[in-house]
Amino acid sequence: MLKHNLGFPRFGAQRELKFALEKYWNGQISQDELLKTGKTLRLRHWQLQQQAGVELIPVGDFAFYDHVLNMSTLLGHIPARHRNGDGSYDLDTYFRMARGRAPTGKPAPACEMTKWFDTNYHYIVPELEPDTTFALTDETLFNQVAEAQQAGFEAKPVLVGPVTYLYLAKGEGDKLAWLEKLLPVYQEILSRLKTMGVEWVQMDEPALVMELDTAWQAAFDQAYAALSGQGVKLLLTTYFDDVLAHREVIERLPVDGVHIDVTRGEDQWAWLEAFPMDKVLSVGGIDGRNIWKTDLTTLRGRLLKLAEDRGEQLWLAPSCSLLHVPVDLALEETLDPTIKQWLAFAKQKLAELDLLCASLQEAAV
């Protein structure tokens, strides 16, 4: 029974990234100093997760602004108005896409921002134009994977999946018309990760919790038929709601594992107990989007049969990325103790995950 995590808060326990970004945008620190802050936080957060018992460490969840924007730049999907004069891309290009301005480069209207599904997080909306092209031009993800590997962590790269990426994008006409152009770049990304020794890649496809017509359902078949042969194992990852309406799509996709958020959709449990054994089943029962403690006794009771039946084919994780919660409750020294006893931030939720897994493993002996 493997413990993993889908993502970690990026700003730091003391909001270090927020302050560094503000200083950089105001010209008070250099870009190298900003990049150093990012690296320090990544290493600190990877270490914290490993110490909490997380075995597969998410890499690529860190962002200086937004993880969907990270995906856009990884795919070379950058509006012409934000590019440098020679057409190249750099970190200030990234900030111009998000904010419309940066310490260098010509200001231009920022990309739109809208809510990430039904959360309070907002993402930068990709723009699809008739002349949109995709190309692998940004090395950031690969550099961070190498960074994690060199520090001794088992890296699980995190990508916004191709269907969800298009689902979230802004464009006229049929957005799925861009899928054929998009998939070769995803194939190249996965192939590169394979050469780096990566075993598992987390493919975030939360669009599966939405109402999808037959064209969008078929897009998942097309996408994962193309991506399944790149030599890495794919963990299809869903969250924020139940996916029962698309369970047949999920079961037939040629992926190696599936993550399901069980904090919503009580009816999912019967399906999960009959879930195909040829895929890893990752269950997210610790709510990653709120600050409340988990009822571990009840959750353990629901998981006992799955743990007994599936053994190593059962993984445990939070329901979604822990991006939505603060880092460490222990730092909240002025909270009313009566309230504090009911709370759990990212560090505490990982401790809950470790305790839950240990209890289930003990019961299985």
Question: What confidence tens digit (pLDDT) does each residue in 289-334 have?
Answer: 999 999 999 999 999 999 999 999 999 999 999 999 999 999 999 9
Q: Round to whole Å and give the CA distance between 33 and 36.
A: 5
Contact 104, 82 (CB under 8 A): no
Question: What confidence tens digit (pLDDT) does each residue in 88-133 have?
Answer: 889 999 999 999 999 999 999 999 999 999 999 999 999 999 999 9
Model pLDDT, residue 365: 61
- Name the token pair of 89: 């891309």
Q: Round to whole Å and give the CA distance between 189 and 163.
A: 16
pLDDT at 87 over 80: no
Model pLDDT, residue 88: 81
* Residue pointed to by tokens 């990426």: 165
Q: Round to whole Å and give the CA distance between 145 and 244.
A: 33
Classify residue 152 as left (phi > 0), alpha (psi -120 to 50) or beta.
Answer: left
pLDDT at 364 over 80: no
How do 113-115 and 122-124 pair as beta strands? antiparallel
Contact 163, 209 (CB under 8 A): no
Length of the chain measured in residues: 365
Q: At what angle do helices 346-364 and 31-51 cross, to 10 degrees?
A: 30
Question: What confidence tens digit (pLDDT) does each residue in 188-238 have?
Answer: 999 999 999 999 999 999 999 999 999 999 999 999 999 999 999 999 999
Q: 17 in helix, strand or coil? A: helix
The average pLDDT across 241-248 equals: 97
Please give the class, per CATH, of domain 2-364: alpha beta
Containing 214, the helix (H) or strand (E) segment is helix 214-227
Question: What confidence tens digit (pLDDT) does each residue in 31-62 have?
Answer: 999 999 999 999 999 999 999 999 999 999 99
Percent of the chain with pLDDT over 90: 95
Model pLDDT, residue 321: 99
* Residue pointed to by tokens 């270490």: 47
Sequence-ordered list of residues with C-beta below 8 angstroms from that of 135, at least 6 positions apart, any chain = 75, 76, 185
Q: Round to whole Å and give the CA distance between 129 and 145.
A: 31
Q: Round to whole Å and give the CA distance between 60 and 313.
A: 25
Burial of residue 240 (number of CB atoms within 10 Å: 0-12, 13-18, 19+)? buried
Question: What confidence tens digit (pLDDT) does each residue in 147-198 have?
Answer: 999 999 999 999 999 999 999 999 989 999 999 999 999 999 999 999 999 9
Q: Round to whole Å and give the CA distance between 137 and 72.
A: 10
Percent of the chain with pLDDT over 70: 100
Sequence-ordered list of residues with C-beta below 8 angstroms from that of 299, at least 6 positions apart, any chain = 285, 286, 356
pLDDT at 353 over 90: yes
Contact 130, 142 (CB under 8 A): no
Nearest Cα neighbor of 302 from 278, 256, 271 is 271
- Name the token pair of 209: 């919790």
The CA distances from residue 33 to 17, 22, 37, 46, 261, in Å, are 11, 12, 6, 20, 38
- Residues paired with residue 128 on neighbouring β-strands, in sequence order: 171
Name the E strands within the chain: 2-3, 57-59, 113-115, 122-124, 127-128, 155-160, 170-171, 200-204, 233-237, 257-261, 280-286, 314-318
Backbone Cα Rg of the chain: 20
pLDDT-derived band at 363 (thresholds 50, 70, 90) equals confident
Model pLDDT, residue 265: 84
Q: Round to whole Å and give the CA distance between 203 and 297.
A: 30
SS (H, E, C) 228-249: CCCCCEEEEECCCCCCHHHHHH
Sequence-ordered list of residues with C-beta below 8 angstroms from that of 15, at least 6 positions apart, any chain = none
- Residues paired with residue 155 on neighbouring β-strands, in sequence order: 57
The average pLDDT across 242-249 equals: 97
